[in-house]
Chain A
Amino acid sequence: MEKTSVYIISTLIFLSSSTALAQDQIPDSVDIPLKFKAAIEISGPTIYLADKNILNIEGYFAADLNEQTAIYIGTGYSDFKYSQYNYDYNNKGVFLKTGLDFNLLKPETAMGKYWAGIGLHYGLSIFNSETPFLKYENYWGITSSSIARATHWGHYLEVSPGFRAEISGNFTIGWSVSMRKLIYSGTGKDLKPIYIPGYGTADKSFSAGISYFLMWNIPYKKIRVAVKQESPEEPEETEIPGNNTDSQSLEDAPGGFR
């Protein structure tokens, strides 16, 4: 909930400020640079410095198709370890995500520098997991067991609203909130994976998270995009009884006063 609020509030701040700027001067058309983009996710390695049990390295490549749409290909590696009093769990693997990113800003607002939009991605993970130790206690005493390492494939869908802004030169920073729906965990219902690379904690069929990106852009083409002109609002005419009608009749009247 806090994560979603951060997204909504900062997007509203950005949209309100950029809309105000855009209203100052609206040209007929704008030149938008189309770019190849290469991004790395920066919170994963940062979190690893504090918690050596979770390493998540992620990046993506994107290519603008036009001023609004980009092809997205993401990839990454995860190494996840978890331990508590009744079991240990290890999981490591790689993932691939692909889909489209849509910029919802107007071209004259975005200018190829800002992106506030949504990504729709399909994710595929290949990972191996093991439970080297598990303990279960009931009336009969303690049962100790383990689950051998096995390789699985997981599939999921991801919706990623987010925000990016050019900070200098060809560098951009930004973040996105990722909401993911697990399609298939790659295991049976009894031994669901606790973690799936690229998806996150997988004991539930829905996961959410925030990613922070540092991006390098390579412009490859410029396109001219027509700006949709908003028709200026006509001032409301207030009719003064007897005034407008009288002047009209005076002008139309042959030999009327001018």
Chain B
Amino acid sequence: MRDSFKNLLITVSAVASMMVISCTREACFDETNALLKASLYLDSLQTITAPDSLTLYGLGMDTSKIYNKSAFIKQALIPLNSSEAGCRFIVRINGVSDTLSLWYTSFPHLVSQVCGYTFYHTLDSVAVTNNIIDTIKVTTNSVTTLNGENIRIYY
């Protein structure tokens, strides 16, 4: 009888603590944006080099710039449009503009229960005008939340 009472007490207290724990909602601390990572290489030296000035924005989005005359940027982080199969960006390096075109496939990826979903992308092809940018090289075509390099921009 005494043991039964002890067990019942343990059971009731454990159920109560479990219910309290299960009601606590966590916060999202994981990275939820899958950004294309574009390293900026100086073509003459073939080394990663930050330009004096970098301006970057989506075509038709000139009121909302991702970088605006920013210095010390060696790797640009570029958000892709998950609703479309491609998007274009204006890339202005040291005052000279080029248009960067990217085509890709997007698919949802679960980050975690508390963070929800993001969109990952697989790069299909890239193209660029050649005013200051010389070439583009794709190094990794999977655009995820992980760190790494996706493309190299030689200028």
Chain A residues engaging chain B, CB cutoff 8 angstroms? 2-3, 6, 10, 13-14, 17, 43, 46-47, 50, 82, 84, 86-87, 131, 134, 136, 138-141, 143, 145, 147, 163, 165, 167-168, 173-175, 190-192, 194, 201, 203, 209-210, 212
Contact = CB atoms under 8 A, between A and B. Distances in A.
Contacts of B79: 138-140
Counting contact residues on chain B (CB < 8 A from A), the size range is 35 or more
Give chain B's interface secondary structure class.
Answer: mixed
Interface stretch (B47-55, B92-100, B106-114, B126-134): B106-114
Given A136-B118, A140-B87, A174-B7, A47 B22 contact: yes
25 contacts: A3-B14, A10-B7, A10-B10, A136-B117, A136-B119, A139-B58, A139-B64, A139-B66, A140-B83, A143-B83, A145-B108, A163-B7, A165-B3, A173-B4, A173-B11, A174-B7, A175-B11, A190-B110, A190-B120, A192-B110, A203-B110, A203-B113, A210-B14, A210-B15, A212-B11
Chain A CB count within 10 A is highest, among B58, B110, B120, for B110
Contacts of B66: 139
Given A139-B58, A190-B120, A194-B110, 8 more contacts: A10-B6, A43-B15, A50-B19, A131-B117, A134-B116, A136-B82, A140-B84, A201-B113
A24 to B, nearest CB: 16
Contacts of B17: 2-3, 6
Nearest to A86: B116
B8 interface: yes
B8 A173 contact: yes
B13 A6 contact: yes
Contacts of A47: 19, 22
A203 B107 contact: no
B11 A191 contact: no
Nearest to B115: A86
Interface in B1-50: 3-4, 6-8, 10-11, 13-15, 17-19, 21-22, 33
Nearest to A6: B14
Chain A CB count within 10 A is highest, among B7, B18, B21, B84, for B7
A87 to B, nearest CB: 5
Contacts of A84: 114, 116
A82 B115 CA distance: 12
B81 interface: yes
Contacts of B18: 3, 43, 209-210
A190 B108 contact: yes
Given A194-B113, A210-B14, A138 B33 contact: yes
A140 B81 contact: yes
